[in-house]
């Protein structure tokens, strides 16, 4: 009987563990950097500039890379330095496969020492396409972005450009099995065809650049939230460096007017989803 009791405890513990394993976790590292952990435990890192000034895990001489010991995929919306960030170092440390356009992947390998094999998988893709990763648990769609893209060339000389070609800038939609559908806008300007992205993918969480100057101003970012039909709009790409918005107040006020749910993450914060439902914030 005692053994049966023990087994019951094990089964209960096991199912409790399964419940938490069914969660999708979204962590904001500051600026445009997010990591997403799927219900099956795969880790996707988007625009991993972890050494940005907002990241609490990069403060006081701390190494923010210790906070991401396991990464399966690195997604880059475009080649600018505040998005490529620490991708090369993280790729070397974790063996993660790169997901971005072929020109950016090629130049990162050629000029920035990104591990070639990890930049040459079938996860290299183009705008308009979809790929399945993580044994089919996640579908990634690459969406248009109105911005620019170049790769910083550390080997630049007087006659060799400092900025190499980075392909077209993009956004991503991540469709997670038993989890939310997440849209990361990259640094795009507002464009009305975001409505098509929303119609096609039914976005649960929209991670939108709101800082202006280089991308959407807060009011246009609110319009983007409306166009993609976001169930919740989460701001990113603000308050990081001079020239972009210092807070999300204008964005929040406009979303309130448009009756769109808003959630402001703190740098370093994680939110969880059970299925398509946000369970903790």
Q: What is the contact surface with Zn ion in residues (CB under 5 A)?
A: 82, 187
Phi-psi region of 31 (alpha: psi -120 to 50; beta: other; left: phi over 0): left
Residues 6+ apart with CB under 8 A from 222: 233, 251, 254, 255, 257, 258, 260
Shortest Å, Cβ 118 to Zn ion: 23
Shortest Å, Cβ 31 to Zn ion: 7
Q: Which is nearer to Zn ion, 82 or 254 (CB)?
A: 82
Shortest Å, Cβ 55 to Zn ion: 15
Shortest Å, Cβ 83 to Zn ion: 6
Query: Distance of CA 140 to CAs 31, 113, 226, Å?
Result: 21, 25, 22
Shortest Å, Cβ 87 to Zn ion: 14
Q: Which is nearer to Zn ion, 86 or 187 (CB)?
A: 187
Token pair for 59:
């403060």
Q: Which is nearer to Zn ion, 229 or 235 (CB)?
A: 235
Q: Which is nearer to Zn ion, 175 or 224 (CB)?
A: 224
Shortest Å, Cβ 135 to Zn ion: 31
Token pair for 254:
């406009």
Shortest Å, Cβ 173 to Zn ion: 19
Q: Which is nearer to Zn ion, 82 or 103 (CB)?
A: 82
Q: Which is nearer to Zn ion, 32 or 97 (CB)?
A: 32
Q: Which is nearer to Zn ion, 57 or 187 (CB)?
A: 187
Shortest Å, Cβ 171 to Zn ion: 12
User: What is the rounded distance in angstroms from the CA atom of residue 84 to the CA atom of residue 242?
Assistant: 19
Q: Which is nearer to Zn ion, 50 or 133 (CB)?
A: 50
Phi and psi of 110, rounded to 5°? -75, -40
């Amino acid at each position: 009987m005692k053994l049966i009791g023990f087994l019951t405890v094990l089964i209960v513990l096991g199912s409790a563990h399964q419940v938490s394993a069914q969660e999708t976790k979204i962590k904001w590292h500051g600026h445009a950097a997010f990591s997403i952990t799927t219900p099956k435990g795969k880790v996707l890192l988007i625009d991993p500039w972890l050494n940005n000034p907002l990241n609490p895990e990069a403060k006081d001489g701390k190494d923010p890379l210790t906070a991401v010991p396991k990464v399966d995929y690195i997604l880059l919306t475009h080649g600018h330095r505040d998005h490529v960030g620490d991708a090369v170092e993280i790729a070397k440390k974790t063996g993660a496969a790169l997901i971005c356009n072929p020109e950016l992947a090629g130049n990162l390998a050629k000029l920035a020492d990104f591990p070639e094999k990890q930049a040459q998988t079938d996860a290299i893709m183009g705008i308009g396409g979809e790929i399945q990763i993580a044994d089919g648990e996640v579908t990634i769609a690459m969406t248009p972005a109105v911005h620019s893209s170049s790769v910083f060339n550390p080997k630049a000389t007087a006659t060799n450009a400092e900025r190499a070609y980075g392909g077209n800038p993009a956004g991503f939609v991540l469709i997670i099995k038993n989890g939310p559908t997440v849209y990361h806008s990259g640094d795009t300007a507002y464009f009305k065809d975001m409505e098509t992205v929303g119609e096609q993918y039914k976005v649960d969480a929209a991670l939108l650049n709101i800082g202006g100057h280089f991308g959407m101003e807060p009011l246009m970012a609110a319009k983007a939230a409306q166009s993609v039909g976001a169930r919740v709009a989460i701001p990113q790409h603000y308050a990081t460096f001079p020239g972009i918005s210092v807070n999300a107040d204008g964005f929040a006020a406009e979303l309130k007017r448009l009756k769109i749910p808003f959630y402001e993450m703190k740098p370093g914060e994680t939110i969880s989803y059970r299925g398509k439902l946000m369970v903790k914030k």
